[in-house]
Structure 1
Amino acid sequence: MSTTIENKVALVTGANRGIGKAIVESFLNHGAKKVYLAVRDTNSTKELEEKYGDKVVTVKADVSNTKSIQDLAAQATDVDIVVNNAGIGTPYATIGEDFEKDFTNQLQVNTFGLLRIANAFAKTLVDKKGALVQLNSIASLKNFPQLSTYSASKAASYSLTQGLRADLGAKGVQVLSVHPGPVDTDMSAAAGFEGAAPTSDVSEGIVTALAAGDFHLFPDDMAKQFEGAYQSFSDNIVLADFSE
């Protein structure tokens, strides 16, 4: 199954900056009819509202809060594509005084956030035969010591994304798991990554991957190195049908 952007209604969490903002702009440039800008601070999307007018609609959303996401889904019942981009990535190692608090916070947003979005929008996406896009990371495949708890939260979200592919995919919903390497965002800067890829690598890659009907997207140069090494495991284990 595949999904084109033209004339579709999309919703992007964390749409006010970084990768989320780039996804909004790529979708609109590729003909999206409307994009919901789902953000915690509704004053943070003024630039996008001024640029795109009534093609964007700002809505309040906090992926760490179940009721907030349920309210969001009740408001945005016309969506064809949901992009769960919102996430946090505090640099934190495995050993540390506040490891439990840090890991819990990252799970609440990065992992349970995906579950909240998927459950709240499942009926709409099934009815629309739409698409769910989850921003994971190459850190879902390898633990980066300076981002250890983040890596673990993304590994969990990637596992859940595979479960969503099996569940929602059987009901006609395309699921796309996106695995960027370091991208030019505040999180990459805080983690000390240099030579980060532009956010447009991710946003344009999503458009292409949806049209191709792909499950995985490794959008930038570093991510593509992971893709080359991971391809055999993906084909023979992750995407294989073990039901027989």
Structure 2
Amino acid sequence: MELNNAVAVVTGANRGLGRHLAAQLVARGAKVYAAARRPETADLPGVTPLRLDVTDEESVRAAARTASDATLLVNNAGIFTPAPLVAGNPDAVRREMETNFFGPLIVTRSFAPVIEGNGGGAVLNVLSVLSWLHPAGLGSYAATKAAAWALTDATREELAPRGITVSALHVGYMDTDMAADVPADQKADPADVAAQALSGVEAGLPEILADEASRYVRQSLAAVPGAA
């Protein structure tokens, strides 16, 4: 889709990758609703702050009524906990699934009729290399991103007849607050990841692999688990 003159809703637009996505959308000529639980923190020049809590269905419906001209939805909001699935805090696991899986599902369900009514458009879901790679120590987060990958593939098929493309962004660790405590030798630049993501949406790509880690793991999916 053409991003110039698009109308984008970016969840979690007040920091990290979401902030870069919102800023670059403005630079590409889009109108941007910068959605956040606390809209006063969405202080980028040129954006329209929008209250939206992905875990609060009423706030999502209200946001969809406000952003009634939307043609692009970016499901970026998410949380990260290092919780393992068996030994981890079950409340943390449940909260992560509510935010990272049910959140984008609820937002997509609310905004799909809006985008369709405006002539069609696109949805971008921010996923992770952990959609495919599931280390035990990050079991909760990986499970939510695996579920969100399935959500992305299924909604792509479901929304295509309604004129809406659905893209998945996969990336490893980025240099953002969310991954600040993660020991990683190399972290992707979120500005570069945002640029790749938006170019992928413009090109209608179903999957956008934004770093070497995501490209390598994606190519390795056919390998036999545990094989040398």
Q: TM-score normalized by structure 1?
A: 0.86
Q: Deviations over 1:86-115 (max 9, x none)?
A: 0001111233252x2111001110000011
Q: Say which SS state the counterpart of residue 162 (structure 2) adopts.
A: coil
| Aligned position for 1:102 | 92
Task: Determine the C-alpha separation between the residues in 2 that align with 1:194 and 1:4.
Answer: 36
Task: Determine the C-alpha separation between the residues in 1 that align with 2:178 and 2:27.
Answer: 26
Q: 2:133 touches 2:217 (CA, 8 Å); kept in 1?
A: no
1:13 aligns with 2:25: no
Q: Say which SS state the counterpart of residue 62 (structure 1) adopts.
A: coil
Q: Say which SS state the counterpart of residue 179 (structure 2) adopts.
A: helix
* Structure 2 unmatched runs, 5+: 224-228
Deviation at 1:155, TM superposition (A): 0.7
Q: 1:12 touches 1:35 (CA, 8 Å); kept in 2?
A: yes
Task: Determine the C-alpha separation between the residues in 2 that align with 1:43 and 1:194.
Answer: 34
Equivalent of 1:206, from 172, 197, 206? 197
* Structure 1 unmatched runs, 5+: 234-244
Q: 1:11 touches 1:36 (CA, 8 Å); kept in 2?
A: yes
Equivalent of 1:196, from 187, 199, 217? 187
Deviation at 1:194, TM superposition (A): 3.3
Q: 1:147 touches 1:191 (CA, 8 Å); kept in 2?
A: no
Q: Say which SS state the counterpart of residue 63 (structure 1) adopts.
A: coil
Aligned pair count? 222
| Aligned position for 2:226 | none
**1:121 aligned partner, one-letter code:** F
Q: 2:85 touches 2:93 (CA, 8 Å); kept in 1?
A: no
Q: Say which SS state the counterpart of residue 90 (structure 1) adopts.
A: coil
| Aligned position for 1:35 | 32
| Aligned position for 1:242 | none
Task: Determine the C-alpha separation between the residues in 1 that align with 2:161 and 2:12.
Answer: 28
Q: 1:137 touches 1:179 (CA, 8 Å); kept in 2?
A: yes
Q: 1:126 touches 1:168 (CA, 8 Å); kept in 2?
A: no
**2:113 aligned partner, one-letter code:** K
1:84-233 alignment runs, 5 A limit = 84-96=75-87, 98=89, 100-127=90-117, 128-230=119-221
Q: 1:191 to 1:91 in 2, by over 3 A?
A: farther
**1:17 aligned partner, one-letter code:** R
Q: TM-score normalized by structure 2?
A: 0.92
**Identity level (%):** 31
Deviation at 1:193, TM superposition (A): 2.7
**1:123 aligned partner, one-letter code:** P
Task: Determine the C-alpha separation between the residues in 2 that align with 1:211 and 1:45.
Answer: 24
1:62-73 alignment runs, 5 A limit = 62-73=53-64
What do you get for the CA RMSD once the two structures are aligned? 1.5
